[in-house]
Amino acid sequence: MTTPITFRALTCDDLPTVKQIIDETEMFPSEMLDEMTAPFFDHTNSDNEDLWFVACSDQPVAIAYCAPERMTDGTWNLLLIAVSPKCQGLGVGKKFMVFLEQQIQNIPGRILLVETSGLPEFAITRNFYPQCGYTQVACIPDFYEAGDDKIVFLKKLT
């Protein structure tokens, strides 16, 4: 990839491209994205603090979604990060994580949590977060379904 990566807020025009990324990475059914992003695009809802960003080359190549953890002071959750398979292994994910951490620090946020599955097919994902400075802090057995643990990673941002 020779085009530099830039980061910006998600727009409605990005939805077809990021749905394709969601489909390619098999994160979840991409049809869910419309409902998930609706509060973010509803500019009449001043209570919405969710953050939706894209990483772009010529067009979006990655998407991320962060939300504050209710009833905490400065704790945020990274609920989605997906990088197009054609851009995986090129440092896009790590650069995106640094960008997200900076955005949350500016709010100000203190902690960023990330959760993922304990299934074998998520081993690469579980190895990614420690490379970005995250520490595994929890394993909740059978969280998603029987045999699928929830693995939680944490990074202090201050």
In tens digits, the chain (158 residues) has pLDDT values of 567 999 999 999 999 999 999 999 988 899 999 999 999 998 877 788 999 999 999 899 999 999 999 999 999 999 999 999 999 999 999 999 999 999 999 999 999 999 999 999 999 999 999 999 999 999 999 999 999 999 999 999 98
For the entire predicted model, the pTM comes to 0.93
Closest of 67, 77, 61, 57 to residue 25, by C-alpha: 61
Strands 6-9 and 111-117: unpaired
Domain boundaries, the chain: 6-112
Can you say how many angstroms the Cα of residue 36 is from the centroid of all Cα atoms in its chain? 13
Neighbour tally for 134: CB within 10 Å: 20
Is the domain spanning 6-112 CATH 3.10.105.10? The answer is no
Tell me if 21 sits within 8 A of 60, measured CB to CB.
yes
Closest of 57, 64, 56, 74 to residue 25, by C-alpha: 64
Q: Is 59 helix (H, G, I), strand (E, B) or coil?
A: coil
Closest of 87, 85, 91, 105 to residue 157, by C-alpha: 105
Reading the block at residue 143, the tokens are 């969280």
Q: Is 102 helix (H, G, I), strand (E, B) or coil?
A: helix
* Average pLDDT of the chain, as a whole number: 94
pLDDT of residue 123: 94
Strand partners, 114: 78, 153
Strand partners, 81: 64
